[in-house]
Structure 1
Amino acid sequence: MILLSFDIEEFDMPLEYDGKILLEEQLAVSRDGLQKILALLKKHDIKATFFSTVVFAENNQDLITELLSQGHELASHTCYHSYFIEEHLAESRQQLEGLFDTKVTGLRMPRMSPVSSKAVADAGYHYNSSLNPTWLPGRYNNLKVSKTYFYDQDILMMPASVSYFRFPLFWLSFHNLPLFLYQFLVKKSYTYGQYLNVYFHPWEFSNIKKESYKLPGFTTKDTGEAMVKKFDRFLTWLKKNHYSFGTFQQFQNQLGS
């Protein structure tokens, strides 16, 4: 099963690189990108999982309602993208469920930050997709983490997909590799684990102000309309090769957990 997911949040990444962007613009960039994502998924009749911060959801209730009406899953990305305390685990789940008529069972921490499975379970979640089983300088070293799903204290752990030699297949790889090479790695990874878990962000699909945001070139390569076209070709390739798609909840139900 192909598990496509999107972290819908305040676009605060420029602040990591001494760029300037107000909250209003952070939300506007992500809103624009999310609209493009929903159009692509609708075009290809694909369901996905959206990990949302409470801040983004509160300010874009119409889009969250729309994605739920299209059969997508809403999961938690905690309350804020740049600030976290453990209490936000339960608070974000409860607030998202209070805003929308849906059951929130999944979590992804902002920037794949570590969190204990006990805290996740105590907050009422069933699965956690906050692991990238690779080494990313300055972020994390998860080279000893399982490359496929596993259980920890009754929480289904859903690591992001990597290649056989742990090359990450997340959003950054998608932007910087030729599509044919990315597709080759996807095919190999799927053969190994029988599922693919790759994640993206709405801002990647939006025409961002690269200069004022001061983002490194490797993070903004093939963004905006280039990303829309590239992602459209990727989805077309997946459909042509008869891969099945589903949400994280559907995958968990398939496992019987």
Structure 2
Amino acid sequence: MILLTFNIVNIEAGCKNGSEVSDSERLKISEENTRAILRILDIHDIKATFFIEISLVEKLQNLLKAISFQGHEIAFYNQNSQPDEIENTKKITQDFLEKQIKGIRQKDNKISSQILKLMEFSYISNIDNANILFPFKRLKRDTEIIEEDGLSIVPESISPYSQLPYNDFVFQILPMKYYQNMVFETLKNDDFVLIYLNSWQFTDFARYHFDVPFYRRLNSGKKMENKLDALLSWINEKEMATSRMKDYIF
């Protein structure tokens, strides 16, 4: 099973040559990038899970409604929110979507599973930092879903052969043919492959002069759209199964 997921987050990088991009412009970029992702998913009739950064949820209600209307799952991405903010945002979101938010993803700031269980989350999908050296730092990890305090803990996927993780950076830099082979070989060994990308990777950095490392500009913007399109075309061609996170876990 392929679990395709997207983190909807504003790009945090500063700008070059003293130029500035306002918070409202950054929000607009995130929305435009997400709608590009939605168009590609719709073309290939593949459903995914969107992890929305909690501080953006109320600002992107129309976008969230569009994501949900197309049959995708809405979940939360916690960057640095406190429990009371998460709980309040969860209630507001469930009210306007009329659907339960079951999943949450965390990276640097991790709230305990006991607290998240009290908020009635059902699963946690934690991720690690991804940079140019990250793929070579950890060569072994558990790739099975476990239960903790009544929650399902979903780990990042890693190729048992290349030992590369399926994070946003690896997708961005690897040639598509190599990435496809990695997915195919991993599914021979594991029950699922969890793939995640960030909305900011779809930014046109030639248009917006963000100060990002050269290796993060590679294959970004339209090239990232093309890579995603190629991956989904291959998935359908090979008749590989895909699922939203909540459907697969429960």
Q: TM-score, normalised by structure 2?
A: 0.87
Q: Partners in 1 of 2:232 and 2:39 — Cα distance? A: 12
* 1:115-154 equivalences in 2 (<5 Å): 115-132=111-128, 145-154=141-150
* Alignment check: 8 A CA contact 1:7 1:201 kept: yes
How far the C-alpha of 1:144 sits from its partner, in A, is: 6.5
Q: Which amino acid aligns with 1:187?
A: F
Q: Which residue of 1 aligns with 2:25?
A: 25
* 1:85-164 equivalences in 2 (<5 Å): 85-109=82-106, 111=107, 113-132=109-128, 145-164=141-160
Q: Which amino acid aligns with 1:121?
A: K
How far the C-alpha of 1:99 sits from its partner, in A, is: 3.0
How far the C-alpha of 1:8 sits from its partner, in A, is: 1.0
How far the C-alpha of 1:4 sits from its partner, in A, is: 0.7
Q: Partners in 1 of 2:81 and 2:138 — Cα distance? A: 21
What's the CA shift string for 1:166-223, capped at 9, x where partnerless?
Answer: 3111111111111111111111222222211111122222313587311011112111
In structure 2, runs of 5+ residues without a counterpart are none
> CA 1:44–1:153 in 2, change beyond 3 Å: closer, same or farther?
same
How far the C-alpha of 1:102 sits from its partner, in A, is: 1.2
Q: Partners in 2 of 1:118 and 1:166 — Cα distance? A: 31
> CA 1:33–1:206 in 2, change beyond 3 Å: closer, same or farther?
same
Give the 3-state SS of the residue equivalent to 1:151 in structure 2. Answer: strand
Q: Partners in 2 of 1:9 and 1:197 — Cα distance? A: 19
> CA 1:246–1:16 in 2, change beyond 3 Å: closer, same or farther?
farther
Output the aligned Cα RMSD: 2.8
* 1:185-204 equivalences in 2 (<5 Å): 185-204=182-201
Q: Partners in 1 of 2:234 and 2:32 — Cα distance? A: 25
Percent of pairs with identical residues: 23
* Alignment check: 8 A CA contact 2:132 2:215 kept: no
Give the 3-state SS of the residue equivalent to 1:52 in structure 2. Answer: strand
* 1:64-83 equivalences in 2 (<5 Å): 64-78=64-78, 81=79, 83=80
* 1:173-192 equivalences in 2 (<5 Å): 173-192=170-189
Q: Partners in 2 of 1:185 and 1:16 — Cα distance? A: 35
> CA 1:135–1:7 in 2, change beyond 3 Å: closer, same or farther?
closer
* Alignment check: 8 A CA contact 1:108 1:129 kept: yes
In structure 1, runs of 5+ residues without a counterpart are none
* Alignment check: 8 A CA contact 1:3 1:48 kept: yes
Aligned length: 247
* Alignment check: 8 A CA contact 1:47 1:247 kept: yes
Q: Which residue of 2 aligns with 1:7?
A: 7
What's the CA shift string for 1:82-133, capped at 9, x where partnerless?
Answer: x332333323322321332211010012x45433221221221110001349
Q: Partners in 2 of 1:118 and 1:16 — Cα distance? A: 40
Q: Which residue of 1 aligns with 2:222?
A: 225
> CA 1:151–1:144 in 2, change beyond 3 Å: closer, same or farther?
farther
Q: Which residue of 1 aligns with 2:203?
A: 206
